[in-house]
Structure 1
Amino acid sequence: MKTNRRDFIRKSAIAAVGMGMVTSCDTSSKEKTTTEKKKARCNPIGVSTYSFWQFNGPKENAPIEDCIEKAAEMGFDGIEFLLVQMQSEENGYLQKLKRQAFHAGLDLMGFSTHQGFVYPEKEKRQAEVEKTIHQIELAYQLGIPTMRLNTGRWGTIESFDELMANKGIEPVLEGYTEEDGFKWVIDAIEQCIPTAEKCGVTIGLENHWGLGRTAEGVLRIVNAIDSPWLRVTADTGNFLERQYEQLEMLAPMTSLIQAKTYFGGGKWYTLDIDYRRVAEIFRKVNYRGYISIEFEGKEDPMTAVPKSLEMIREAFTYEV
């Protein structure tokens, strides 16, 4: 049976009324609907396994498997693995962790590694390049999309405690200059970029002492290499001066935020970080990625980490 156009429109209108699809011309009703549609949005929040260990005692005291379960119970969205905390680099172990995190409802969202390229000896730098390429491949096996990278440091202050007491500043190695150091780091990281691209792992150079102690140093390296596979891991606790200014400089290039908290007082120092201000800095550049909490205080992580989550979630929640 044929249905003419007029009948079709009439029947469609009747159906729309029945389904509540006809809109009202009442302005107040529209405003009410608009208000009701407003909702809160928050960046996804993860936690570093470092938060449960902090290098306090043997790593066996804080196995990654336990960290996964604790993070899930506390309500995190994801978890960042600290490589040196892992029990093995064998593929079977990596896949077991990946499966456990998936069943716990957690993203594997960050991989925190250690390396350094500030060595005069080419052989040492090359060994660090090969180590870093291997670490990128581990991130790929785990399905982790971003990996923390360090520049390394001069090593003229041997004790880390002493380095922290000196605000991360150390003398340049005798006979060399900072220019030498930047050249070594840039050349080394450039060699890692093809593997990062092949594996789909974004390298995030962290503001983490050495030549990366300042935003200027980090950006000098990132801009010189100029690759979409090299970005920044912005650590809120590693700027001991001009903190917000330097975070603002890094924000447009940031692939992951590491948010330090210090409940119970910091291990080396305590920073009073205004996380609402930090959140606003990153919101201005439309950063929608993960925040990874790194608890570095003396309080028991089982009480301090949930408090950290509550504080960071509140700061990074906003209306849309």
Structure 2
Amino acid sequence: MPLAAFPKCYLSMLMEGEMRHEEWFDVASEIDVDGVEFYWGITPDDDPEELDRLRSAAADRGLSIPMMCYSPDFTHPDPDVRREEVEREKRAIEATARLGGSYCRVLSGQRRPEVSREEGLSWVSDCIEELIPYAADREVTLVLENHYKDDYWEHPEFAQQKEEFLDLLDRIEESPWFGVNYDPSNAIIADDDPIELLEAVADRVVTCHASDRYLEGGTIEDLREMEAEGGQGYADILQHGVVGEGMIDYDAVFSILADAGFDGWISIEDGYDAEKGKEHLDRSAQFLRGKMAEYGLP
């Protein structure tokens, strides 16, 4: 099973130009991963030659670029805005393919108070179903994540909770070019049981975010109050930690994945502390490699 790393702890540096892509690739090449997951905010999608150069730079370090972390917002009440969001996702799919990737994330959108459950589910499923053939033509699989909240959104994910997430999945016809990107710690933030969610979607999981969470200086109830107030980004009390050192039962996760025959990419998503980024990513990678071996995952 291939293992990737997402530069969560370095994102602000990469986006602000304080860290070059190659420096991030250098870090990843020194830990036990096979690839790096890309983030749309650091993707030069309007420059094909630069995308080719980045693909080669990663390959020179023994790394592939299998996944693209993208955040479409398909729950906007304005149909013209939703149309723009579909077109932007197409650009993300194209950039993913150019980088040599096989998986591009798709989300539902923000949980806007004025959008009803039925409206949101209808709009989102229509957008995703339109995108699947486009992705298939480029040999890219769209992966729907049980997501919490994009760093630049005002509201949490529309399909954050298990009930809405499963309902959305049921509305989208099964396809080899569409699946689930499962993130166990996001289920906890949604007040769902991550193991129950995984059991419900195991046959459709094609990629995973290996993340672990902890709350610092607050409770789940405090988080719910902060979400109700709105505001861009994550609440300060919500932290990513080293994988295997937080709230997730990874033995249960790997047992279910093994039983389902999962053989896709797992991408490490940990930490905000750039000073400890490499150390934490290395600890996460060692933990995950151990679990892969323990549960017989290739």
Please list the CA deviations of residues 197-218 of structure 1 after superposition, one character each: whole Å capped at 9, or x if unmatched.
1001000001013232133323
Residue 182 of structure 1 corresponds to 121
Residue 207 of structure 1 corresponds to 146
Tell me by how many angstroms 1:88 deviates.
5.5
Tell me, yes or no, if structure 1 residue 231 matches structure 2 residue 179: yes
Aligned residue among 112, 122, 130 for 2:69: 112
Alignment of structure 1 residues 3-82 onto 2, 5 Å: 43-53=1-11, 55=12, 58-82=15-39
Gaps of 5+ in 2: 149-156, 217-235, 241-245
CA distance in 1, matches of 2:33, 2:237: 24
Residues 282, 200 of structure 1: alpha-carbon distance in 2 compared, 3 angstrom cutoff = same
Task: Check the 8 A contact 2:25/2:61 in 1, yes or no.
Answer: yes
Residue 202 of structure 2 corresponds to 251
CA distance in 2, matches of 1:57, 1:196: 27
Residues 313, 267 of structure 1: alpha-carbon distance in 2 compared, 3 angstrom cutoff = farther
Residue 285 of structure 1 corresponds to 260
What secondary structure does 1:257 align onto?
Answer: strand
CA distance in 1, matches of 2:295, 2:193: 29
Please list the CA deviations of residues 45-101 of structure 1 after superposition, one character each: whole Å capped at 9, or x if unmatched.
110123433x36853123322111111111211111111123564111100111111
What secondary structure does 1:296 align onto?
Answer: coil
TM-score with structure 2 length normalisation?
0.80
Residues 212, 63 of structure 1: alpha-carbon distance in 2 compared, 3 angstrom cutoff = farther
CA distance in 2, matches of 1:252, 1:153: 26
Alignment of structure 1 residues 265-284 onto 2, 5 Å: 268-269=238-239, 271-284=246-259
Task: Check the 8 A contact 1:267/1:297 in 2, yes or no.
Answer: no
Residue 312 of structure 1 corresponds to 288
Please list the CA deviations of residues 201-259 of structure 1 after superposition, one character each: whole Å capped at 9, or x if unmatched.
00000101323213332332233221321111111220123121112222211111001
What secondary structure does 2:179 align onto?
Answer: strand
Segment of structure 1 superposing worse, 292-301 or 142-151: 292-301
Residues 229, 251 of structure 1: alpha-carbon distance in 2 compared, 3 angstrom cutoff = same
What secondary structure does 2:17 align onto?
Answer: helix
Structure with higher Rg: it is 1
Residues 89, 68 of structure 1: alpha-carbon distance in 2 compared, 3 angstrom cutoff = farther
Tell me by how many angstroms 1:297 deviates.
4.7
CA distance in 2, matches of 1:112, 1:77: 17
CA distance in 2, matches of 1:109, 1:229: 14
What secondary structure does 2:96 align onto?
Answer: helix
Residues 224, 204 of structure 1: alpha-carbon distance in 2 compared, 3 angstrom cutoff = same
What secondary structure does 2:170 align onto?
Answer: helix
Task: Check the 8 A contact 2:64/2:100 in 1, yes or no.
Answer: no
Please list the CA deviations of residues 245-289 of structure 1 after superposition, one character each: whole Å capped at 9, or x if unmatched.
112222211111001145997961464112222111111101011
Gaps of 5+ in 1: 1-42, 156-171
CA distance in 2, matches of 1:61, 1:131: 26
Aligned length: 259
What secondary structure does 1:200 align onto?
Answer: coil
CA distance in 2, matches of 1:186, 1:264: 33
Residues 225, 231 of structure 1: alpha-carbon distance in 2 compared, 3 angstrom cutoff = same
CA distance in 2, matches of 1:59, 1:312: 30
Task: Check the 8 A contact 2:8/2:272 in 1, yes or no.
Answer: no
Task: Check the 8 A contact 1:44/1:290 in 2, yes or no.
Answer: yes
Residue 138 of structure 1 corresponds to 95
